Amino acid sequence: MLSPGSLDIGPLTRTYAECHAQELLALGVDNDWENWTVDNLLAERPGKWELSQVARVGAVAAGYAICSRRAEGLHLHHFIVGPAFRNGGIGIHLLEQLSRNALGCGLSAITLKVHLKNSRAIRFYERSGFKSGISEGGLLWMLAESAAILRNINLGKFSAASRVTFD
């Protein structure tokens, strides 16, 4: 069991991504729709290295979010929590940090695409305040206001948000 103090969420820098690329990519290996490569992970995007985040439990990467600026919003390209760390609140803590960062940068909305097979992620995003848009090529577009995500978190819609313990 880990204490809440064991979770650290901070900027995902290019240097960290380069040094830990295989560890980061391995977090999504159990999802048959995952096809990210080192090239995807390191691809340059507007605002990527100021907006992207990594969650660590101790020295181990537990999850990450790759983001960029698009128009007036933050676009979430890749959001992963490793299998050993799921259902412990890391995802919601990561999303909360992304929302705070977006608002701090004047980005009022967050967009993403999620694989239609990933029903668990779709439910997570819907509970967070995302609304479904169009689907294309097996992916569903979703959109939320950054402030709405923070409101949903503060209203306690996530029972796991305060639980950061792992067996």
Give tens-digit pLDDT for 105-136.
Answer: 999 999 999 999 999 999 999 999 999 999 99
C-beta of residue 63 within 8 angstroms of C-beta of residue 54:
yes
Give tens-digit pLDDT for 12-49.
Answer: 999 999 999 999 999 988 877 778 899 999 999 999 99
Give tens-digit pLDDT for 57-76.
Answer: 999 999 999 999 998 899 99
Q: CA 146 to CA 136: how far, in whole Å?
A: 24
Domain-embedded: residue 47: yes
What does the mean pLDDT of the chain come to? 89
> Going by C-beta distance under 8 Å and a sequence separation of 6 or more, which residues neighbour residue 85?
55, 57, 62, 63, 166
Domain count for the chain, please give it: 1
Domain-embedded: residue 15: yes
Q: In 10 A of CB 164, how many CB atoms?
A: 21
C-beta of residue 69 within 8 angstroms of C-beta of residue 46:
yes
Q: CA 167 to CA 17: how far, in whole Å?
A: 27
pLDDT band, very low/low/confident/very high, at 5 (cuts 50, 70, 90): low
Q: CA 66 to CA 52: how far, in whole Å?
A: 5
Q: Percent of the chain having pLDDT more than 90? A: 76
C-beta of residue 110 within 8 angstroms of C-beta of residue 62:
no
Domain-embedded: residue 167: no
Give the containing element (helix H, strand E) for 55.
strand 53-57
CATH number for the domain spanning 115: value is 3.40.630.30
Q: Which domain holds residue 73?
A: 4-162
Rounded to 5°, the CA angle 115-50-156 comes to 60
Domain-embedded: residue 79: yes
Q: CA 165 to CA 86: how far, in whole Å?
A: 10
Domain-embedded: residue 128: yes
Domain-embedded: residue 116: yes
Say if residue 167's pLDDT is above 50.
Answer: no
